[in-house]
Structure 1
Amino acid sequence: MIRHLVLFKLNEGVERDDPRVVEGVAAFRALDGKVPEIRSWELGWNVSDRPDAYDFALNSSFDDPEALRRYVQHPEHQAGAALWRAFATWVVADYAF
């Protein structure tokens, strides 16, 4: 199994209620069920007020690296990521477990 973790940081001046953010979150929430490679799917807003914390997290799993690759290339994922590029940056970690 492969764990796929993504931590998002909203750009300076962008708030959670920004319509672009709301659309981006909805797009990622909708991926579960649209992309058959997804085995587990969790996402949500950070509840910590620490200054070094990221704003939003996605925690998912896939059977193997090839399934993760298909997910990353899936048109629905690509469309969601394109939305997020307009208002956030992110870091990714993928590991076997």
Structure 2
Amino acid sequence: MIRHLVLFKLNDGVERDDPRVVEGVEAFRSLDGKIPEIRHWELGWNISDRPIAYDFAINSAFEDAAALRTYVEHPEHQAGVALWREFSTWVIADYEF
């Protein structure tokens, strides 16, 4: 199995209630059940107020590298990425477990 972690940092001046952010969250929330390769899917807002904390996280799992690649290339995932690109930056980590 491969764990796929994504941590998002909202750009300066962008708040959680910004309509673009709300749309972006819903775009990723809706992926669960739409992409069969997803084995585990959870996401949410960070509750930490530490200065180094990121704002939003996705924690997901896939059977293997091919399944992860299918997810990454899926048009609905790419549409969500395009939304988030407008108002945030992010880092990822993919590891086997």
Query: What TM-score does the superposition give when structure 1 sets the normalisation length?
Result: 1.00
| Structure 1 runs, 4 residues or longer, greater than 3 Å off | none
Unaligned runs of 5+ in 1: none
Say whether residues 1:7 and 2:27 are aligned partners: no
Give the aligned residue type for 1:48: S
- Which residue of the partner structure matches residue 50 of structure 2? 50
Percent identity reads: 80
Please give the alpha-carbon distance, in whole angstroms, between the structure 2 residues aligned to 1:60 and 1:91: 14
Task: Please report the RMSD computed on the Cα atoms of aligned residues, expressed in angstroms.
Answer: 0.2
Unaligned runs of 5+ in 2: none
Query: What TM-score does the superposition give when structure 2 sets the normalisation length?
Result: 1.00
| Aligned partner of residue 26 in structure 2, secondary structure | helix
1:10-56 CA-to-partner distances (Å, cap 9, x unmatched) read 00000000000000000000000111100000000000010000000
Aligned residues: 97
Give the aligned residue type for 2:64: D
- Which residue of the partner structure matches residue 90 of structure 1? 90
Q: How does 1:10-89 map to 2 (within 5 A)?
A: 10-89=10-89
Give the aligned residue type for 1:57: A
Give the aligned residue type for 1:68: L
